[in-house]
Structure 1
Amino acid sequence: MPTLTDLARRFLPSGLTGLAGVACVGCCAIPLLLAAGVLSGAGWVVLGRWLPGLTVALTAAAGVAFWWARRRRHNCAGGTSCACGAG
């Protein structure tokens, strides 16, 4: 049975990347929604201020999660060429 860490290493990078992509699409859709009249000026004030920052934060978090998931774990299981200290 996989541990919680193994599951996090597997699903966290893809989940954060998906959220960052949705936020990026949202940033690009704001001008179109304004032009179509779907989004009002008040919506622009709210979304225009925090959505770009959210996109940058999610993208950075996805990059860190990708790095964390891909780095190698060094595990010494009694091998003869292990660089870990014995005992």
Structure 2
Amino acid sequence: MTCEHVTLPGGARAIVCSSRRRPRCACGRPAPLLCDWKMPGKRSGTCDKPICAECSTSPTKDKDLCPEHALAFKEWLAERGRRQ
């Protein structure tokens, strides 16, 4: 069972336990987002790496990229600019 210490509104603290393990970002924070980088070889079609809001890059509305794919996106944009 996984337990977390959480701070409630007003400053009170609580311990919340769950048998389900929540995904974590590589930085260790809870990861409510998944990377949306397209990966045709995967069943889901996207990377799906769990990421937190602080580590996410959002190139457009409702799209989130993990740090690795944010870098790949930046390189893709730079290459595209050189071709035009």
TM range (shorter): under 0.3
Compare CA radii of gyration and give the structure with the larger one: 1
TM-score between both structures, scaled by the size of structure 1: 0.27
More helix by share: 1
More strand by share: 2
TM-score between both structures, scaled by the size of structure 2: 0.28
